[in-house]
Amino acid sequence: MGIYIFRRTLYAIALLFVISLVVFVLFSALPFDPASLTCGKNCTTEVIEANRIRLGYDLPMWEQYVKFLQGIFIGRDYGHGVASFTCPAPALGYSFFRQECVTSLLITALPPTIWLAIGSVTLWVGTGILLGIWAARRRGGAPDHIINVLTVFATSMPTFLTGQMALTFLIGKFGWIPPPDYYEPYQNFPKFFSTMFLPWIVLALPGLAIYARLTRGFVLETGSEDFVRTARAKGLPEKTILWRHTLRPALSPLTTLAALDLAFMLGGAVVTEKIFSIPGLGRLTIQSVIQYDLPVIVGTTILAAAFIVVANLIVDILYSVIDPRVRLK
Domain boundary among 102, 133, 167: 102
Residue 179 DSSP symbol: P
Do 166 and 263 belong to one domain? yes
Task: Check residue 327 and give its pLDDT.
Answer: 55
Domain boundary among 52, 68, 102: 102
Do 201 and 178 belong to one domain? yes
- For 4-41, the DSSP string reads HHHHHHHHHHHHHHHHHHHHHHHHHTSSS-GGGGSS-T
Q: What is the pTM of this model?
A: 0.81
Do 147 and 234 belong to one domain? yes
Task: Answer yes or no: is 244 within a domain.
Answer: yes
Task: Answer yes or no: is 111 within a domain.
Answer: yes
Task: Answer yes or no: is 23 within a domain.
Answer: yes
**Regions of the chain where pLDDT drops below 50:** none
Do 128 and 235 belong to one domain? yes
Q: Which residue, among 316, 215, 321, has the nearest Cα to 7 in the 3D structure? A: 316
Q: Which residue, among 260, 261, 280, has the nearest Cα to 272 in the 3D structure? A: 280
Q: What is the pLDDT of residues 234-278, one digit of tens each?
A: 777 877 777 777 777 767 677 777 777 777 777 657 888 888 888
Do 132 and 77 belong to one domain? no
Do 286 and 190 belong to one domain? yes
The Cα–Cα gap between 250 and 224 comes to 12
Task: Answer yes or no: is 35 within a domain.
Answer: yes
Do 22 and 163 belong to one domain? no
Burial label, 173 (beta-carbon count in 10 A; 0-12, 13-18, 19+):
exposed
CATH of the domain at 157: 1.10.3720.10
Alpha-carbon distances of 35 from 20, 38, 91, 302, rounded to whole Å: 21, 5, 19, 21
The answer for 140, left when phi > 0, alpha when psi is -120 to 50, beta otherwise, is left
Do 265 and 159 belong to one domain? yes
Task: Answer yes or no: is 312 within a domain.
Answer: no
Do 234 and 281 belong to one domain? yes
Domain boundary among 102, 131, 162: 102
Determine how many CB atoms are found less than 10 A away from the CB of residue 65: 16
Check: CB of residue 314 under 8 Å from CB of residue 259: yes
Task: Answer yes or no: is 315 within a domain.
Answer: no
Do 224 and 279 belong to one domain? yes
Check: CB of residue 241 under 8 Å from CB of residue 231: yes
Task: Check residue 237 and give its pLDDT.
Answer: 80
Do 135 and 49 belong to one domain? no
Do 264 and 179 belong to one domain? yes
Task: Answer yes or no: is 166 within a domain.
Answer: yes
Q: What is the pLDDT of residues 122-155, one digit of tens each?
A: 888 888 888 888 888 888 788 888 888 888 888 7
Task: Check residue 207 and give its pLDDT.
Answer: 82
Range of the domain at 184: 106-292
Burial label, 103 (beta-carbon count in 10 A; 0-12, 13-18, 19+):
buried
Question: What domain count does the chain have?
Answer: 2
Proportion of the chain in helix, strand, coil states, percent, rounded to 5: 75, 5, 20
